[in-house]
Amino acid sequence: MASGESQQAQQNWRYCGGQIKLWREESGVSRQRLADEAGYDYEYVKSMECGRRRPTLRL
């Protein structure tokens, strides 16, 4: 992947993660509850919300 494409992917991950966090907080759902429901651990969900990991459809 070219550097520009990589940067775009990171921006997309951050945006998507931010939306997940926004929706989760507006729904009154804790990060731990979301992690439990989706079958992930807390840190994995946090990484997706912060844009360090690619958000998944399952989440």
Number of structural domains the chain divides into: 1
- The C-alpha atoms of residue 32 and residue 21 are separated, in whole angstroms, by 12
Residue ranges making up the domain that contains 25 = 3-49
Tell me the per-residue pLDDT of 46-59, one tens digit each, with 9 for 90 and over: 999 999 999 888 88
- Which pLDDT band, with edges at 50, 70 and 90, does 2 fall under? low
Does residue 59 sit within a domain? no
- Looking at residue 16, its pLDDT comes to 95
User: How much is the pTM?
Assistant: 0.81
The DSSP letter of residue 51 is: T
Does residue 54 sit within a domain? no
Tell me the per-residue pLDDT of 8-59, one tens digit each, with 9 for 90 and over: 988 999 999 999 999 999 999 999 999 999 999 999 999 999 999 998 888 8
Alpha helix ranges (H) inside the chain: 3-26, 31-38, 42-49
